[in-house]
Amino acid sequence: MIDLLGITKTYTTGAQSLQVLKGVDLAVETGELVAIMGSSGSGKSTLLNILGLLDGYDEGMYRLDGKNMAQLTERRAAELRREMLGFVFQSFNLIGFKSAAENVALPLYYQKVPRKERLRRSHELLERVGLLEWADHLPSQMSGGQKQRVAIARALAAQPRVILADEPTGALDSTTSEEVMVLLKELNGDGMTMVVVTHEAEIAAECQRTIRLRDGLVETGAHV
Amino acid sequence: MFDRDAWLEVAHNVLAHPLRTTLTGISVALGIFILVVMQGLGYGLQNGVEGQFADDAVNSIWVEGGRTQLAYRGHQPNRPIKLTNADVAGLTTQADTVPASSRRIRLWGAEIVWENPNGENRGGGFGVRGVDPAHIDLERSVLLSGRYINGRDVTESRKVAVVGPNIVRDLFRDVDPLGAFIRINAVVFQVVGTFEDPGSRWENRVAYIPFSTAQQLYRTDGGVDQVLYSTGDMATDATVAQSDRMRSWLKDVKAVHPDDSRGVEVDNNNEEYAMYASIFDGIRLFIWGIGLMTLLAGAVGVANILAIGVKERTKEIGVRKALGATNGSIVSLVVMESTVLMLVSGSLGLMLAVGLLTTVAPLADHEYFQNPQVDHRIALFALVVLVLVGLASGLGPALRAVAIRPVEALRDE
Ligand SMILES: Nc1ncnc2c1ncn2[C@@H]1O[C@H](COP(=O)(O)OP(=O)(O)O)[C@@H](O)[C@H]1O
Ligand SMILES: [Mg+2]
């Protein structure tokens, strides 16, 4: 599903430049649940953003579902994100003034799915993550674990091929972290390909494989 | 455009910060309010001043004799200048064209009496003017009944009169004056018509009689008090040249010093009117200037709160982009918000202004200030301007929103 070959990425701030990725090679197969680990600042988020087409890379080759991702226009990137990718963030990033159901329906809005159909599907998804009775609540009325489950439902809404999660349990205590991991594993069990960035060994241990980043290179676990 | 979700979001964003929205809304409303009210007041002033011109035809030149101030060619100053039939003929040769003209003889306080069927005399002091047929257009009189002085009246020096509304009211009351015989300074005239002059209170107290009759009765020396020339549709510049030519010709013939400003009077209404017209152009420009400036200030306010809004919502916009929002959908969200802000507050200002003007309008009745009103085209134009300015003021913040990169907006730190 995902193939990276020799990906490099350098950030330049003023006169300073920092090469965060120095030639990353890795592959993720369809249906896998993979963890990306590394110490803080090792470039995990940078890598995930490149995978999510939210950021570009300098050199190397990225193939998503067999298609080369070089030289994408912004419009094309937005389109691919809409169709192929679902995101889960550490800080949930739900929209505060929208109910759980509306948050989940938002990606469908950008796919121009009619409103009725959107809300029907968002209710199904909320049921899937066990939050149907919370559909009309605002994020501010929910716990961290519930918010992250709403975020996961939102990531699923557009029926993506891959879910990319950046520290999805980073803001949660260990019990709710466990709930979220159970949910992610269930979804993976249904066949969803998932890449989970984490710096916690317990979380990585629940995934099928761990890709370890160090000094801008993949140390272990690049391939199945 | 009629996307319910987009409108709900706009409503939410507008209502999320009531104070901020209200203050900006007030500045926009004020801009439109000032623009429309001042426009209305300017209109009132213009109506008032144009009412002053309603008395006489705007495209006319008025000539009469005065009194000299300067000694010239052996004449002492303070000499009255009187026009004659020959002067009028000469003046007419100085005109480029004469679409219409009328001589005039003026009596200020004539006694007019009507003996009613009961043998009772009703009378009073009124004005009398001896005129030619074209006088009706030059004086802008409106015929109410019967007929005006005609060519045969003048060639045959008939004793007929066309009387104004005050004479009808004071002498005849409810009786139809047509055909009645009145005495003007003891000479009997038959009333053949009635008129009114909306532009002049004085003229409504006047009886018009044929010029030749008046000259024979009251100017036995063959004098002519005044001559009125229409200039038709000549351009103002050409009429000015013509009135200048008439003035110097007349001064020469009457031995009036070229620098004497009182000896003869040649008044060109075209010129005066053009001057007022240009003053009003100036006033209008001024009003538009102020109104548009205020509106611009409002637009800057709107652009500002949108920019703040976009900044506050950086993260939200980043999320939307990550979820597949296109730049177009982000732009339309911001631009819709600015347009709604402008339109709602602008319409409020417009309504207030129209309300004020319609309540004040009936109260305003001064000679130089009449009937202030809202020009519908201006109200419409103001709305169009509001929409355009709304679009324009949303554009900057919208482009800023487009420039937001999701990676940066979403970084957790
Ligand atoms: N936009 C950026 N500009 C400059 N430096 C950046 C930027 N994004 C990340 N970095 C730097 O790149 C390094 C890797 O960041 P990141 O990928 O967020 O690491 P991780 O997620 O593994 O903690 C860090 O040193 C960070 O400061
Ligand atoms: Mg990170």
pLDDT (tens digit per residue) in B96-150: 999 999 999 999 889 999 998 888 899 999 999 999 999 999 999 999 999 999 9
Instruction: Tell me the chain A residues in contact with residue B319 when contact means C-beta distances shorter than 8 Å.
Output: 93, 95
Complex ipTM over 0.95: no
Which residue lies with its CA nearest to atom 24 of ligand 1?
A41
Q: Of B5, B15, B17, B323, which to mutate for an interface test with A (greatest number of A Cβ within 10 Å)?
A: B323
CA of A62 to the centre of ligand 2 (A): 20
Query: From residue B23, how far is each of A37, B164, B298 by CA, in Å?
Result: 51, 58, 10
Q: So what's the pLDDT on residue B106?
A: 94
Q: Output the pLDDT for position B2.
A: 55
| Residue B170: DSSP 8-state | I
- Residue A194 to residue A28: CA distance in whole angstroms: 9
Ligand 1 atom at minimal distance to the Cα of residue A213: 22
Closest CA to B231 of B55, B40, B60: B60
Residues 6+ apart with CB under 8 A from A202: A174
Q: Which residues of B touch A95 (CB under 8 A)?
A: 316, 319
CA angle in degrees (0–180, nearest 5) for A165-A167-A170 = 145
Confidence at residue B275, expressed as pLDDT on a 0 to 100 scale: 84
Burial of B76 (0-12, 13-18, 19+ CB in 10 A): exposed
Task: Number of A to B CB contacts under 8 A, please give it.
Answer: 60
Q: Write down the residue that tokens 């200039």 correspond to.
A: B231
Q: Which atom of ligand 1 is nearest to the CA of A199?
A: 22
A8, A11, A13, A214, best to mutate for ligand 1 pocket (most atoms within 8 Å of CB): A11
d(CA A62, CA A28): 12
**pLDDT for residue A75:** 86
Output the CA–CA distances (angstroms, integers) from residue A119 to A96, A105, A113, A122, B7, in the order listed. Answer: 18, 6, 10, 5, 17
Give phi and psi for B117, each to the nearest 5.
-55, -20
Tens-place pLDDT, residues B338-358:
888 888 888 898 889 888 888
**Cα–Cα distance list, A204 to A29, A146, B51, B90, B362 (Å):** 17, 21, 90, 115, 83
What's the rounded mean pLDDT across residues B56-60? Answer: 84
Q: Which of residues 28-87 of A touch B (CB under 8 A)?
A: 45, 49, 52, 54-55, 74-75, 78-79, 81-83, 87
Residue A203 and residue A181 in contact, taking contact as beta carbons nearer than 8 Å: yes
Of A55, A90, A93, the CB nearest to B319: A93
What is each CA distance from B212 to B104, B157, B208, in whole angstroms? 10, 5, 12
Chain B residues with CB under 8 Å of A154 CB are 323
B412 to chain A nearest CA, in Å?
7
- Does position B372 have pLDDT exceeding 80, yes or no? no
Whether B163 contacts B256, CB under 8 Å: no
Nearest CB to B406; choose among A54, A110, A154: A54
What mean pLDDT, rounded, does chain B reach? 88
Closest residue of chain B to A46, computed from CA coordinates: B407
Whole-Å CA distances, B366 to A193, B41, B46: 84, 12, 12
Question: Of the given ranges (A6-10, A161-165, B327-331, B376-380), which has the lowest mean pLDDT?
Answer: B376-380
B50 pLDDT exceeds 80?
A: no
Per-window interface: A 144-163 vs B, CB < 8 A: 154, 158
Looking at residues B377-402, what average pLDDT do you find? 82
pTM of the full predicted structure? 0.67
Q: What is the mean pLDDT of each run of 10 residues along chain A (224 residues)?
A: 94 91 94 93 92 92 93 88 91 91 92 91 94 95 94 92 93 90 92 93 92 90 77
As a whole number of angstroms, the distance between CA A197 and CA A215 comes to: 16
Residue B207: the pLDDT is 97
Provide the terminal-to-terminal Cα distance of chain A, rounded to the nearest Å.
Answer: 12
User: CB contact, 8 Å: B409 with chain A?
Assistant: no
A40 CA distance to ligand 2 centroid (A)?
Answer: 7
Q: Is B313 on the interface with A (CB under 8 A)?
A: no
Q: Which residue in the block uniquely carries the two structure tokens 């409503």?
A: B11
The tokens for A136 are: 């009309």
pLDDT band at B1 (very low <50, low <70, confident <90, very high): very low
Q: Which residue has the higher pLDDT, B258 or B198?
A: B258
Question: A9-13, A209-213, B287-291, B308-312: lowest mean pLDDT where?
Answer: B287-291
CB-CB contact of A38 with A93 (8 Å): no
CA geometry: angle A163, A167, A170, nearest 5 deg: 140
Nearest CA of chain B to the CA of A220: how many Å? 26
Asked if residue A97 has its Cβ within 6 Å of ligand 1, the reply is no
* Residue B320 in this model has a pLDDT that exceeds 80: yes
Q: What percent of chain B has pLDDT over 90?
A: 45
Chain mean position to CA A157: 13
pLDDT of residue B329: 86
Nearest CA to ligand 1 atom 7: A11
* Alpha carbons A136 and A99: distance in angstroms, whole number: 5
Give the mean pLDDT of B361-389.
75
What pLDDT, in 10s, does the model give residues B21-49? 888 888 888 888 888 888 888 878 877 77
Name the residue with higher pLDDT: A123 or B395: A123
Hey, are the CB atoms on B324 and A110 less than 8 Å from each other?
Answer: yes
